[in-house]
Amino acid sequence: MSNESDKQHKELPEEHIDPLIKHLHSIIRVCVRVLAVLMVAVIMWGIGDVVYVLYQRLITPPVFLLNINDIFYTFGAFMAVLIAIEIFINIRLYLESNDFPVKLVIATALMAIARKVIVLDIEKLTPDYIFAIAATVLALGLTYWLLHKEHKKPDRN
């Protein structure tokens, strides 16, 4: 067998005893590729949105000045594009490798929750909501740290 078949995701093998399952696996692989193309379109659209929003904020009087809300909104737009890029990388790695990129998925979730924290309007939120976000950040941060720590264990040879 070729090296390319070794790279395929083991959950969606190209070969299967049941012809129907084999066909369904190929449909899912095509769908994942379509998702990758759509994610690139979302990334390009997001970049256009960032440019447009920044332009709109800069030409509004006072010209070339941003207030703190404008800066946070712009940060949120930037983060949304970066999250879309991370999701595209997740899709690409899913297609290319035999392993599910857990650490990258956790990092993407951390970026998404960080974006949420950056754009929060704290005055309009309930304490329960803020505690829930804090718990999510803590859980994801701890998970990422544990995955990173496990990955860097020294060899004992």
CB distance 100 to 135 below 8 Å: no
Residue 40: inside a domain: yes
Residue 111: inside a domain: yes
Residue 61: inside a domain: yes
CB distance 119 to 73 below 8 Å: yes
Residue 86: inside a domain: yes
Residue 91: inside a domain: yes
Per-residue pLDDT of the chain (157 residues; tens, 9 = 90+): 445 444 555 666 677 778 888 888 889 889 989 999 999 999 999 999 999 988 988 898 888 888 888 888 888 888 889 999 989 988 888 777 766 778 888 999 998 998 888 888 888 889 999 999 999 999 999 999 999 887 666 665 5
Domain boundaries, position 127: 3-151
- One-letter amino acid for residue 151 of the chain: H
User: What's the pTM value of the predicted model, to 2 decimals?
Assistant: 0.72
Number of domains in the chain: 1
* CA neighbor of 45 nearest in space, from 77, 75, 92: 77
For 24, 34, 82, 93, 121, the CA distances from 97, given in Å and listed in that order, are 19, 18, 22, 6, 40
Residue 156: inside a domain: no
Residue 19: inside a domain: yes
C-alpha distance across the termini of the chain, in Å: 33
Residue 157: inside a domain: no
CB neighbours of residue 3 within 10 Å: 6
